[in-house]
A and B are shown apart, each in its own frame.
Chain A
Amino acid sequence: MTVTAPVARKRSALTKGQLPAFAPYVVLAVALVLGAAILALIGFNAFGWGLVSAILFAIGLVGWSAAVEGGRKASDKLATCLIVGSFLVALLPLISVIWTVLVNGIPGIITPGFLTTSMNGVTGALDNKSVDEGTKVLGGVYHALLGTVQITLLATVISVPVGLLTAIYLVEYGNDRALARAITFFVDVMTGIPSIVAGLFSAAFFFAVVGPGTKTGAVAAVALSVLMIPVVVRSSEEMLKIVPNELREAAYALGVRKWRTILKVVIPTAISGIASGVTLAIARVIGETAPILVTAGFATTINNNVFGGWMASLPTFIYTQILNPTSPSNPDPSSQRAWGAALVLIILVMLLNLGARLIARIFAPKAGR
């Protein structure tokens, strides 16, 4: 009776000449220690430590890999280091912004009444009092929140029909005619218009048509739609273009008229992309400051009429609170309110982006069996 000898557990010949799995961690630890040591010589700071350690890590890992594994694996590790490094660099500002706004904005936003009161009657004396006596900061963003929602809503109501109809013309009827080419060109030009120019255009237009000094939410909404329309046209155009021509032909072959085909086949097929494009366009203009400043002014009270009177919005609220604190001698309450408003604005944009994803999912053609 023969006993088969157990195969000895040794490193497989197939994995010979590879760095062990823990290699990156070892190199990272060494790089961090070395980095700290180098930085200690020239004066320690966290940013420099990260930078020096990252460079040492890349050199160490790639060098070790080149020595043990050869050139191909070393190039792979170098590319990985560069890509991960770029990713971290790109992520840094984002995380930094969110962190700063969260840290500075949360005290503002959790103050009772911040979301439900306006700045009506909040004076420098009240701010001084809250600083001196440590009472809660009065005043809030309710009027600005309302203004932002109303102005953006009106801008959307103006831009979406104009933008969508333009896109339909370009894709379904344009046929690369001179007019279609001209529209495409000018839409591209409009995409690059500085937002302040859009604001000045809208202000000048209403000054000429309605009367000098017309500053209302509607003027701001027109300015924002100048910025929104090209984005809506572009995104809807791309979405309509990817609707397969076969679907249009299938509908034509059933004896369906062109406009019905567009309305009932093409647009429903593309609606999820169009809807998320529109939501992203809204997110793009909701934070515009300059065009609103020159078109809607800034108000401290609630104004529910977009067609009359100055109107506040979150960006202009932040701007005025920082630049002209309610109490010039004690700017802290104003800056707390400004950061709170910034946090509200970021949350709003984030909700819009989540909404876009949700809309895209709801409208997407279903593929169940």
Chain B
Amino acid sequence: MSKRIDVKDLNVYYGSFLAVEGVNINIEAKSVTAFIGPSGCGKSTFLRTLNRMHEVLPGARVEGEVLLDGDNLYGPGVDPVTVRTQVGMVFQRPNPFPTMSIRDNVLAGVKLNNRRISKGAADALVEKSLRGANLWNEVKDRLEKPGSGLSGGQQQRLCIARAIAVEPQVILMDEPCSALDPISTLAVEDLINELKDEYTVVIVTHNMQQAARVSDKTAFFNIAGTGKPGKLIEFADTTTIFNNPSQKATEDYVSGRFG
């Protein structure tokens, strides 16, 4: 239950501004891929094109192809909603729905789409998703309490549970730990390691140690200067990127001589 992603010559625009230029990347199924790079280099923007969240912003558009197991996400007639049910996303800041209980937050993907689900199946799905997000033991006694009452780290894991409850093929994570303390970060990283058994995971991170800890492959993005488009500089095994990069810019960045 996971699919690979192949990106061909992708240009990403905000209105007439070219934000990311000419990305070619092949992301394997059941792997963890990390995007690293300085702020504003287009990592998050590129990540958002992988489940068509980019175009939610006014004026945003994309040129090129993103293939999910060979099917172009940007092909004519493709419904972005269908894409998003296959490619889930976890955001930088935990954003549980404040009007819903913990249980309803996990079931949000099902309930908001008015899909019918029996009580037993719903209970099983809630438990499976929360166990999958390493949150079950902490919240099993208060499933009916509001999700906003949890701690930041728990909220983020709740958001991950919510994302995996719709059983996507791919999970995108946009700096999922940047608002979390080290303990919660560890919990989420452990979780990412477990998730890759079942899902394709793509994670944007500012923390290079985190990229080194969790990812199989790492992509380094960079930007030539303000107003210039961001580019994919190097994409290789994580150990190669951190120990023996082929590009000078990558070496400078991972060794801290830049940015």
Chain A residues engaging chain B, CB cutoff 8 angstroms? 175-176, 244, 246-257, 260-261, 264-265, 268-269, 365-369
Please give, as numbers and ranges, the residues of chain A lying within 8 Å of B149 by CB-CB distance. Answer: 367-369
Known contacts A250-B159, A252-B56, A366-B146: A260-B114 contact under CB 8 Å = yes
For B88, list chain A residues within 8 Å (CB): 253-254
For residues 68 through 100 of chain B, which have their beta carbon under 8 Å from a beta carbon of chain A?
81-82, 84-86, 88-89, 91, 93, 95, 97-99
Q: List 14 A-B contacts (CB under 8 A).
A: A247-B95, A250-B95, A254-B85, A254-B166, A255-B82, A256-B109, A257-B113, A260-B113, A260-B114, A261-B112, A264-B111, A365-B99, A369-B142, A369-B150
The residue in chain B whose Cβ has the minimal distance to the Cβ of A255 is: B85
Interchain CB contact under 8 A, A252 and B91: no
Chain A CB within 8 A of B53 CB = yes
Residue with the highest number of chain B CB atoms closer than 10 Å, among A176, A246, A252, A253: A253
Cβ–Cβ contact A368 & B97, under 8 A: no
Residues of the B chain whose Cβ atoms lie less than 8 Å from the Cβ of A246: 91, 93, 95
- B108, CB-defined interface residue at 8 Å: yes
Nearest-neighbour CB distance to chain B for A317, whole angstroms, equals: 42
A248 and B97 alpha carbons, distance in the complex (Å): 10
A269 touches B114 (CB 8 A): no
- Measured between alpha carbons, how far is A30 from B163 in the docked complex, in Å? 72
Candidates A244, A248, A249, A257; contact of B81 at CB < 8 Å: A257
Asked whether A368 lies within 8 Å of B145 as measured between CB atoms, the reply is yes
How far apart sit A365 and B95, CA to CA, in the bound complex (Å)? Answer: 14
Q: Which residues on the A side are within 8 Å of B225 (C-beta)?
A: none
For the complex, give the distance between the alpha carbons of A269 and B112 in Å: 14
One of A244, A255, A265, A366 near B84 (C-beta < 8 A): A255
Contact B162–A365 (Cβ < 8 Å): no
B interface with A by C-beta (< 8 Å): 51, 53, 56, 58, 81-82, 84-86, 88-89, 91, 93, 95, 97-99, 108-109, 111-114, 142, 145-146, 148-150, 159, 162-163, 166
Q: Report chain A residues within 8 Å CB of B108.
A: 251, 254, 256
Q: A251-B112, A256-B109, A365-B146 are in contact. List 14 more A-B contacts (CB 8 A).
A: A244-B95, A250-B97, A251-B97, A252-B53, A253-B53, A254-B112, A254-B162, A255-B85, A255-B86, A256-B112, A256-B113, A257-B81, A268-B99, A365-B148
Closest CB-CB distance, A299 to chain B, in whole Å?
45
Query: Hey, which chain B residues are within 8 Å of A254, CB to CB?
Result: 84-85, 88, 108-109, 112, 162-163, 166
- With both chains docked as a complex, state the minimum distance between the C-beta of A204 and any C-beta of chain B, in angstroms: 41
**Chain B: CB-nearest residue to A265:** B97
**In contact, A253 and B51 (Cβ under 8 angstroms):** yes
The 5 closest A-B pairs by CB, nearest first: A255-B85, A365-B98, A253-B89, A254-B109, A369-B149
Do B145 and A369 have beta carbons less than 8 Å apart? yes
Residues of A within 8 A of B81 (CB): 255-257
CA distance A175 to B57 in the complex (A): 10
**Do residues A249 and B56 form an inter-chain contact, with CB atoms below 8 A?**
yes
Minimum C-beta distance from B174 to chain A (A): 10
A344 CA / B86 CA spacing, docked (Å): 59
Q: What is the CB-to-nearest-CB distance from A286 to chain B, in angstroms, rounded to a whole number?
A: 30
Cα distance A251–B166 when bound, in Å?
Answer: 12
B59 (CB) vs chain A CBs: closest residue: A175
Q: Which residues of A contact B95 (CB under 8 A)?
A: 244, 246-247, 249-250
Once bound together, how far apart are the Cα atoms of A81 and B108, in whole Å? Answer: 55
A185 to B98, CA, bound (A): 33
B residues within 8 A CB of A255?
81-82, 84-86, 109, 113, 166
Chain B: CB-nearest residue to A260 = B112
Distance, CA A366 to CA B98, complexed state (A) = 7
By the criterion CB–CB under 8 Å, are B163 and A175 in contact? no
Whole-angstrom CA separation of A232 from B114 in the bound complex: 29
In the complex, what residue of chain B is closest to A253 when comparing beta carbons?
B89
CB distance from B176 to the nearest CB of A (A): 13
Interchain nearest-CB distance for B157 vs A (Å): 14
Question: What CA separation (Å) do A251 and B56 show in the bound complex?
Answer: 12
List, in ascending order, chain B residues with CB within 8 A of A250's CB.
91, 95, 97, 159, 162
In the bound complex, do residue A269 and residue B85 qualify as a contact, i.e. CB atoms below 8 Å apart? Answer: no
- Expressed in whole angstroms, the Cα–Cα distance for A155 and B159 within the complex equals 42
Q: Assuming the A-B contacts A365-B146, A367-B146, are A253 and B84 also in contact, with contact meaning beta carbons closer than 8 angstroms in the complex?
A: yes
CB distance from B3 to the nearest CB of A (A): 15
- B84 with A252: CB separation less than 8 A: yes
| Shortest distance between the CB of B73 and any CB in chain A (Å) | 13
A261 contacts which chain B residues (CB < 8 A)?
Answer: 112
**A175:B91 contact, CB within 8 angstroms:** no
User: In this complex, what residue of B is CB-closest to A257?
Assistant: B81
Residue of A nearest to B108 (CB): A254
Assembly CA distance A102 to B53 (angstroms): 60
Chain A residues with Cβ under 8 A from B166's Cβ?
Answer: 254-255
Which residues does chain A contribute within 8 Å of B51, judged by CB atoms?
A: 253
Bound CA span A152–B84, Å? 45
CA distance A260 to B82 in the complex (A): 15
CB distance from A250 to the nearest CB of B (A): 5
Q: How far is the CA of A265 from the CA of B162 in the complex (A)?
A: 15
* Chain A residue contacts of B98, Cβ below 8 A: 247, 269, 365, 367
